[in-house]
Each structure stands twice: as structure tokens, then as C-alpha cells.
Structure 1
């Protein structure tokens, strides 16, 4: 095992560490970071997702090797860490540094020798022809690009002094012969997004490890000169060794000294677009298979001192194969409690040709429901209340990424694409699909969410039941619209009577009238007051039983147990109880709303309108306008009780008849399953 240390802890040294660690891992080296050397604060930069998978509790032993970066900057804190590591090992140490003189190198060696008790090796960091010096070795990983019929053209460091300058490249983002993406700094990323829109992928260097980022690119147009940033040089190394076409579009041909594997080009957007379309893309195969890359590849080989540490491959007789088995498809529902998202995923997974291909990474609130449906599950860690939205996301990445190893695809259903999702998808090279429902509120800021749609090969947008609720979807080759994804449960009258009879026997009371109240788990909005109002109002109606239905993981108000005629039921089978009810009182989430419509259940809706949610009020009003439901605002307790009385007096049956006769669009779960199977082969 190779354990890594740095001569001094700073943002730059941690970034260099992340680059070398990930490049080494991708090249086949067994790498690690000791928990005794790095604290969470040390790694809490943009590199945290790149470093966290390699942290181990143990320290290096006699059979391990230590790699010290920036040994020329060795400070006292690093000396203490090395001294502590030297108590049990490691057996060998490699120290990298850019020493100002031979005496500086001797001084660093002496200090490390004092700390460890033996002398480290200090191999020279080879400077790559045409690139400035950096403080870590630059080499390519073994990762290869996937074959793509429509190549991805990356504009690398294009000029962005003004929006007008960026707008010159807008036509290139609409080309049919290739896909355009932009690779820029974090500072300029916003400018490019404003000009190109969020449909065009815009990356900054720290979003993902260099070898993973390189896998997104087939043709790179280099606008800026070579620079001395290790992350940038590692990207170039991986592009060269994957036979990516590099084009020098810099001023004064700044890449000319790099070698003949870079084609001289132009930075003018109009000329560049025509040249790419007519010359480069049609001749891509000939360029990629020429020998012009070989000399440049030799510059990015693994240094001999590291290559010697790659473990011998396992014996072919010991290697396990599983030929003919179709890979699993990982489904990840989120956000919040995640039950609605999990239910939607579950409906789609059941419509796969092989439902047993589906496995779930889900929050604890959903595990019971998914397990009962027969799906294998891996629990994620829910965020704690009162903490930032990304709380525990790094922990979830450490669970999610190994769970995805060997999968054939990834399906995400949620409103916010967390870094854990992005990193798990890209580092495992998974084709990914996003089930993204619409009906966002006008006040929502979806910039971050829509920026991360670039990691998905397909985006499935389930329709709403009513056309006016379906917002226009940006035209894109990735987006597929399907009908409403809904669990359809249509019980016969005999089945409903059987359920009511079993409930009556279990509760020890007749069910002349059954009201089912289900207003959510309390994450988006606190609906205890409305539930209490319903229970209090029905407490004098001996002919009515009110079931307050909550999921097993939901919080229950003790006061609900004090109302006569009200019974609290914890269950995952709310859809069946809903069907048996005379009245259903519900929030207006996507799932419950469509189950009401397709199941013809008379319903009083109470919308939840948290800022990050979909527009439940618009959804409910659309049903009211068609005579298919009633909508009561959370602050209208008198209207709520009056509506309950009206429904019990006969209006419920009128609504049920109207629902039964209403023509609804074809559901979309089967279509969504076919799209997923097309991508996750």
C-alpha cells in the first residue's frame, strides 16, 4: 500500500495530493491516506470527494511505502507526522520536491531521515516538454475513452472577458455533428452558463478528478497557454494518452513546443466551427489512429519508481467471471424523506423486463417499503435537521460509490443532484438517467440542479395528468417525456368491502363512513394543526372512522390519539386504504395526486408549499376546475370542516362518478422502463 503525505498542508498541496492520488489509483496503484495524518478540516476543500475514499484508520507498516509530496516545503507539523509514522514503518519512502539547489535536497533528505530513521529516495520530477514545472509527477492513468458516434468537443479555457465574446461560440453549442462543452475556471463558469444556457455542459476543473473529466472529451480546443497547475497538466496527460484530438487555438501558437500531436488551429469561433464540422469530425478516426500521439504518450508514462509498485495481476485461473449476467441498475430516490421518489422508482423498476436487475440506494425512511416490494437495498444516511443540505453527503458518497461498482446504469429520482450522485456516476463510468418531474415554482432557483444534468445521458420527464401543468421542456436529445408515472390500484367493490370488513374487525367498530387522512411526513410542512382539526371535527360523528395514515418512519403527534373516532395507522400500504375510503384528505404531491385521479378517489387536497417543492397548489386547482376534487388552503380550517361535511353528505359520490368517467392520459412507467433499459444495457 502507498500512503501519501505532504510537506505542508495548504489548499495547493491538498489539490496536488488529490491529483496524484487519483492518477495513481486509476493507474492501478494501491493508494491510501492515514486518518492519523489528515483531519476532516484538512480535506474539507473541493478535493474532499476525491480524497475521502482513500482514508484508512491504520498507519503505514513495514510492508508499505510512503510517498511524500512537496518535500522541499517540509514544515514542523509534517516532521511530527513523519516521526509518528516512522515508529512502525513504512519500509520505504519516496520524497518528491522541486529543490532550489542540491543543498536544499540534501537538507530535506536529512530531515526525513531523522524523522523515519532511514534515508528516502528522491527521484527527479521529470518536466514534460512544452509544459511548465509542477511539484508532482505528471502521468496518465490507464483509463480509456468510451466510443461515441457523436464526439464531444471541449473548449478549454476559452476567453470570457465579456458575454459578447462568449456569445460568438453559441452556434457551436447547437451543432448536430458534435456536442460542445466548456471547461473553464469556477469564476467564469457563471458567464458561460448565462450565455449558452444550462443545456450546454460547462465544467470547472475541480468538479471531478482529471482522469474522469478527460473521459468526457474527444476533441479539446486549447485557448490558453500551457500552465503550471498539476490538475490541468494531469488532464492533458489523460487526453493525450487516450488519443484525444488536441487543437491549439491559443494566441501565437503557445502549444507549438509541445509536439506535433497538437493540431494548429484558430480561436475564431466562426472559422473553428466550420473547420471542426468539415475537416476534424469527418476525419476523426484517421487522426486518432495515426502515430502522431506516440511521442507525446511517452512523456506521460508512469515514473519507474511508481510503476515498480503496481501489484502483479491476479492469476487468470483465480479470476472470477460472470459472463452472460446483465448488470444491476442502481436506483437512488431522494430528497427529504424520499418516499414519493422511492415509490415512483419502484413503479418503474417493476416494469423492467427483468425487475430483479433493480437495486436501491435509499434513505432509511424508504428501506422498509422497498424491501417489502422485493428489492435489494443499501441504506444511505439522512441529513440531520438544522444542518446544511449537503450534510452527510460525503458519507453517502462513500456508501454509494462502492454500491455502484459493476452496475450497468444509475437512475436518480429527485429534485437536487448532490455531489455524491455526480461523483458516483462519473467515477464508476455509469450511464445515468434522471427521472425529473416538472411543475417547479417560479421562485425556485434551479441553476445548480440543471447544471448537473450534464452527467445524465437521458432525462425522463413524467407528465402531469393535465396539459396546462406540463411546462415546456427544453429541446434536447437527452430529454424524453412520458406519461404520468403512477401506481395504479383499482380495487373492485368486493375487494373494497373486504378491506373495510377486515378493518372493522381489527378496530372493533363498524365502518359506516371511512375517512383517510394523509398529509405527509412533516418535512415539507407541518400539518399537525390540520390533522387535529379533522380529528376534532369528526370526534362527534359516531358513524365516521377517521384513519390518520402515516408511514412507519413518520413523527406522530400524541394528541391525535385522544380524539374519539380517530385511529392512527402506521403503514406503507396507504394506497390500498385510500381506495377503500369514502373521503381521502391528502397533500397534493405528484404520487398521491395521480393515484387519486387514476383510482377515482374523492379527495380534499391541502397543498404543501415549501419553497423547494413543486407547485402543489397549481396541481390541486387544476383538479378542482374539472370537478374532480376540492382544495383547501392550510389556513382555512372552516372551509376544511365544511368540505368534509359536504363530501359525507353525498358530494363524494358525485366526485367519484366524475372521476370514473374522466379520460386520463396513458401512464408512463413502462415507457420509462424501456428508456432505462435502452441506456443500461
Structure 2
């Protein structure tokens, strides 16, 4: 039961089939265990759902039917089946070595039948063995396909790869996904429906076939191309051709398979049903943008759905203040050291949380959907996986960008209309559902000018400016704020307030006569200010534009950041804001003087009003509710 991939798929399908027929199913692991052994996720799911119970080797019991998979792999000297008394016993043979186990009837205390899994193993069986009349084929349940609301521009073809198998083709005609043993062990069986086609060309002498993978894929509506010698075995479920012909045959069949109408989102789960939770997983960025977008969506989910957060950002208190349960997992950047080692730890801890809370949906916001993240969730056949993937990456990429193929849903929060984007996500936009910009707060949730000023110790009758330049992880915020304050202090009566991020690298309380805005979310205080000087991170930018706060943007141009300069320059081109480079602040005094003029501020605010869009958090919540319902 610790062998992931084909073997665990087959056993799990048998468990589900027998349980559906009303039989009680017990699972006993009788093979040797390694220190790192673990029960395969597909089988874990069966146990968690009450379809089977775990039997210890020391227990005694009786059963109507004993199924022994891979008898040559059992730890016979330990006598793992000594306590089991069976009316019938069937030995399921996955390889020729399985026929070599001796004294089986004496070991089990009952007559046995041998069940080869394919015709070639049947031909290789010793003549003195009593074989089942038919091959032991996978038991396929009614696997619901994972429908996608998007239509890819290229077919996604899974190519079963490994030693002795033909290499996947190098082509731009389709997205080729190499499915070796390691990759298959990271997936649930029904996740094969995220493919458009599957190619399988094992060597003729190979007798350990991936029957469950191939037949389940076909059952899910995935086109299958296979080696001609497999036709007597798989019959009409595949097209039979050479590896060189497979790609064109699968692309042709995949084009006929794809849906023509997008799935329409729904907003409410069925009443009265038991609701498994939604788990929001926030990456740790240089600010709290990932957390803020997920909170924006969570606040707009159906209130009947239980929600929780697993965050790498140091923002647990902010999440909890908004009424959500939060678990903290230190990020790779916080821990330091080797990323792969951290990622293996991250997978272990995330799996522990998924086991404990049993979410039907995991929603990730971040730039690096690592193998640990995907492996922790994509192996679970009754848990969906979604990615909130902000665009405008600029020249950035991610070594894990191709893991997008294993997400059931990708939502891209929008930018201002007309925003140019030539980043990697723009080139993969056919994977995603686009929604308007996502914001944590709506207009009606902002404090009035009088109340916001009172809480900050400001005089609402005097002009005030907010400086909000980010957490300071990759930018010398202190020096930049110091330069800004030296200019702003020249303006008579102007009140200066500096925003401090909840996960900032250091306090910014160095300047006398300056107010400080601490807490979360910052935008609830925007009406206290006449204008701001700000970075152009996604959340702050869209809050500024939608809440009509006249602003001088000083984008963070660090190579690790998204294209803040592109975002702020587009706003300036729309005459909705000003943009300055932090290395060229010579125009700052003139811009500040201009923004002290109420008519100038109203001109900018009038232009931002023309750029308003609805809050995409509500749209994202509807899409995620639909996905959650599919996993219930």
C-alpha cells in the first residue's frame, strides 16, 4: 500500500468498488517497510472516507475473500497473514516473479487462485497453477471528470515516460507532459482528466502495464494512443499507432473533445449538506499582497463555508482579526538554506494540515507553486486546487510555472483596462479565468475623513499626505522616506503620515513631528489624506485608484518585483496619477505643490473614477464556490 502510482490506483479502485457493493473492506500492509514508507495518498483517501479500515498484522480475523497483490513482494518470513482466515484467496500477479512464491496454500490455509493482470503474464504462468478464467483488470468506478472553465490554445498531451520507453516529442504543436513514475505518484487518478490526450508505448517484453492509468484516462474522456501490440488487451479504448504518429492522432481527437461553452460560476453551496472547508495558502512576498488578495476573496465567500488560512507570511494576527483561523508555516526566505529541503518540509507540514482539516479546496496565492505544494494536494482525488495568479510579472519567471497544469482553476486578478503586459503569465492567459482587480475593502468600508483623522491624531481641516512605500525587504525605504519627508516638510500646514507594514523589516519611527499609520488594512484610513506618495504594488495601487486618492507613484523596480513601473506609468498615461523614479526625485517639489491645489487633486480623482471596476474578489469567490462544490 506504500507504492504510489499504478499499484495504489488499482488497489484504491478495488476498495471503492467493493465498498460500493456493500462489502466491508480491510487493508493490511504485508510488504517490508522502509524508514520513509508512507501509505499512498489514493489509499489514504479511501480510509479517511470510511471505505476501508486498516488491519494490523497481529490481528486475527476471518474474511470471505482475501486479495493478495504482488505476492512476491510480501514479507513472508514475518508471517504477515498468519492471523487471517479466508474462505477464498486470490493472488494478483503484477510480474512474473509473483508466480515464484512457494507453499502458498499452506501459508494461507486455504486453496488459492492466481489472477494475472494481463494476457502476457497469463502466458508466462507455470502450467501447474490454478488461474482465474479471466485476467484481473482494474475496477473502474464512475470517475467524474474535472471540468475546466478555460479552453487551452494547445492540446495538453501526457506522455508516459521512463526507462526503455520512447522519449516525448519536442514540439510546439502541443503541451507535452512527461509522466514518469515519480510524476504519476504526485497525482490523483481523476486528475488525468486535466489532460487532452495520453500516449503509452511500453516495450513488448514489458508485462507490468499501467492498466489503471490507461483505462481510467479513457474512462474520463481523455484520448489514448497506444502501441499496436496492446490492442488485444485494451481493445477499443485507444487508437493504435507508432510513437511518431501519436501526437497528430491525439491532437486531432483532443480538438473534438474540448468543451465549446465555458462553465458558468455559481455562488451558493447546497443548503443542509456537510461542508468541508476551503484552505487558503498564502505565499510570503515582500509585503502582504498574497494574504490580502486571499482575504479579499475569503470575505466574499458564502458564509456557510468553513474557511481557514495556512500562511507563510507573518500576518497571522491580521488574518485572525478579520475572523479567520490561521496556521503559520515559515517561508523558504525566512528559514534560509536549501530550497528543495525546505520544500520537502513544506509538503510534509501542508499534508499534515490537509489531513487535520480535510479541505475540499486549497487556494494558493503566490508566484511559486512548488512541487511540495502540488504534491501535497494534487495526490488527493477529492481535494481541488486553485491558484490566484497575479499578472504583470515583467521579466520574472518561476521554475514551477509548468505546475499550473495540475491546478483545477487559475484565476488572474485584473489590472487597469489597457494595461500592457508581456510577462510570462500573459503568454499563458488561456489557462486562466480573468476577473476585475481584487481589493480587500469596498468603498463603503472606509472610515470617514473625520474618524480616520481622529484615530491617527490628525487635524481633518488641514491637508495631509500618506507615505506608503512597502515593507522594505528589497528597497532602502528609510533613506527614501527621509528624502520625501525633507521635501514635504517645506509645505506649510501639511501633515505627514508614514505607513508601516505589518511585516516590515524595521520600524519607521525615526522622524519627529510625523504621524505613523500602523495596523491592517491601511486603506481604511485613505479618506484622512489629500494625497499620497506610494509604491505601485498590486493591492495598494488598485486601492488608490478605486478609492480616488491622488498619488505620486514611486515604483519599486527591484528585479524580484512585478512590473510596478509598468503599472504606474499606465496610470500616469491615463492622467490618473504621477510617476517618479526614486533615483530622480528632482520633480518631487513641483508635484507636491501641484497636489496641494484642490483643483489638481480633483482632476486626478475624476480620471481615476473613469477607471473604476467592480471588485473581482466577489467574482473569484463565485468561481471558487463552484469548484468547492465539485469536490464535496
Q: TM-score by structure 1 length?
A: 0.64
Could you tell me how far apart the structure 2 residues matched to 1:69 and 1:229 are? 15
Alignment of 1:43-58 (within 5 A): none
Q: Does 1:130 align with 2:119?
A: yes
Alignment of 1:288-437 (within 5 A): 323-324=272-273, 328-336=277-285, 339-352=288-301, 354-357=302-305, 359-363=307-311, 365-383=314-332, 384-388=335-339, 391=343, 392-402=345-355, 405=358, 407=360, 409-423=361-375, 424-425=377-378, 427-437=380-390
Q: Does 1:664 align with 2:616?
A: no
Which residue of 1 is the match for residue 551 of structure 2?
A: 603
Could you tell me how far apart the structure 2 residues matched to 1:233 and 1:377 are? 42
**Cα deviation code 1:243-291 (max 9, x no counterpart):** 87886642xx21144264556644546984698589x979xxxxxxxxx
Once the two structures are TM-superposed, the CA of residue 658 in structure 1 deviates from its matched residue by 2.4
- Secondary structure of 1:146's counterpart equals coil
Relative to structure 1, the CA distance from residue 196 to residue 524 in structure 2 (aligned partners, 3 Å threshold; closer, same or farther) is: farther
Q: Which runs of 5+ in 2 are unaligned?
A: 16-24, 47-54, 62-66, 125-134, 259-269
Counterpart contact for 1:410–1:431, Cα < 8 Å: yes
Could you tell me how far apart the structure 2 residues matched to 1:440 and 1:577 are? 29
Could you tell me how far apart the structure 1 residues matched to 2:519 and 2:549 are? 19
- Secondary structure of 2:290's counterpart equals helix
Q: Hey, which of these two has a bigger chunk of helix by percent?
A: 1
- Secondary structure of 2:392's counterpart equals coil
Which residue of 1 is the match for residue 58 of structure 2?
A: 62
Q: Does 1:486 align with 2:439?
A: yes
Could you tell me how far apart the structure 2 residues matched to 1:483 and 1:510 are? 33
Once the two structures are TM-superposed, the CA of residue 446 in structure 1 deviates from its matched residue by 4.7
Could you tell me how far apart the structure 1 residues matched to 2:11 and 2:573 are? 62
- Structure of greater relative contact order (alpha carbons < 8 Å, 6+ residues apart): 2
Q: Does 1:639 align with 2:588?
A: no
Relative to structure 1, the CA distance from residue 234 to residue 676 in structure 2 (aligned partners, 3 Å threshold; closer, same or farther) is: closer
Once the two structures are TM-superposed, the CA of residue 106 in structure 1 deviates from its matched residue by 6.8
Once the two structures are TM-superposed, the CA of residue 671 in structure 1 deviates from its matched residue by 3.5
Which residue of 1 is the match for residue 536 of structure 2?
A: 588
Counterpart contact for 1:607–1:620, Cα < 8 Å: yes
Once the two structures are TM-superposed, the CA of residue 575 in structure 1 deviates from its matched residue by 0.7
Q: Which runs of 5+ in 1 are unaligned?
A: 5-13, 110-117, 153-171, 283-320
Alignment of 1:23-422 (within 5 A): 23-24=10-11, 27-28=14-15, 38-39=34-35, 62-63=58-59, 126-130=115-119, 140=138, 144-146=142-144, 181-185=157-161, 194-196=171-173, 198=175, 203-207=179-183, 208-209=186-187, 211-214=189-192, 216=194, 222-225=200-203, 228=206, 232-236=210-214, 238=216, 242=219, 249-250=226-227, 253-258=228-233, 260=235, 262=237, 265-267=240-242, 268=245, 272=249, 276=253, 323-324=272-273, 328-336=277-285, 339-352=288-301, 354-357=302-305, 359-363=307-311, 365-383=314-332, 384-388=335-339, 391=343, 392-402=345-355, 405=358, 407=360, 409-422=361-374
Which residue of 2 is the match for residue 518 of structure 1?
A: 468
Counterpart contact for 2:195–2:222, Cα < 8 Å: no
Once the two structures are TM-superposed, the CA of residue 236 in structure 1 deviates from its matched residue by 3.7
Counterpart contact for 1:23–1:211, Cα < 8 Å: no
Could you tell me how far apart the structure 1 residues matched to 2:330 and 2:474 are? 19
Could you tell me how far apart the structure 2 residues matched to 1:368 and 1:33 are? 43
Q: Does 1:464 align with 2:441?
A: no
Relative to structure 1, the CA distance from residue 341 to residue 611 in structure 2 (aligned partners, 3 Å threshold; closer, same or farther) is: same
Relative to structure 1, the CA distance from residue 174 to residue 98 in structure 2 (aligned partners, 3 Å threshold; closer, same or farther) is: closer
Could you tell me how far apart the structure 2 residues matched to 1:608 and 1:121 are? 74
Q: Does 1:495 align with 2:448?
A: yes
Counterpart contact for 1:326–1:357, Cα < 8 Å: yes
Relative to structure 1, the CA distance from residue 430 to residue 539 in structure 2 (aligned partners, 3 Å threshold; closer, same or farther) is: same
- Secondary structure of 2:457's counterpart equals helix
Once the two structures are TM-superposed, the CA of residue 591 in structure 1 deviates from its matched residue by 0.9
Could you tell me how far apart the structure 1 residues matched to 2:41 and 2:478 are? 39
Relative to structure 1, the CA distance from residue 388 to residue 421 in structure 2 (aligned partners, 3 Å threshold; closer, same or farther) is: closer
Once the two structures are TM-superposed, the CA of residue 574 in structure 1 deviates from its matched residue by 0.8
Could you tell me how far apart the structure 2 residues matched to 1:373 and 1:248 are? 51
Once the two structures are TM-superposed, the CA of residue 594 in structure 1 deviates from its matched residue by 1.1
Which residue of 2 is the match for residue 7 of structure 1?
A: none
- Secondary structure of 2:281's counterpart equals strand
Relative to structure 1, the CA distance from residue 410 to residue 570 in structure 2 (aligned partners, 3 Å threshold; closer, same or farther) is: same
- Secondary structure of 1:469's counterpart equals coil
Once the two structures are TM-superposed, the CA of residue 615 in structure 1 deviates from its matched residue by 0.7
Which residue of 1 is the match for residue 266 of structure 2?
A: none
Once the two structures are TM-superposed, the CA of residue 458 in structure 1 deviates from its matched residue by 4.1
Q: Does 1:439 align with 2:392?
A: yes
Alignment of 1:534-573 (within 5 A): 534=484, 546-557=496-507, 560-573=508-521
- Secondary structure of 1:365's counterpart equals coil
Counterpart contact for 1:396–1:420, Cα < 8 Å: no
- Secondary structure of 1:461's counterpart equals strand
**Cα deviation code 1:498-519 (max 9, x no counterpart):** 32133228xxx99955443332
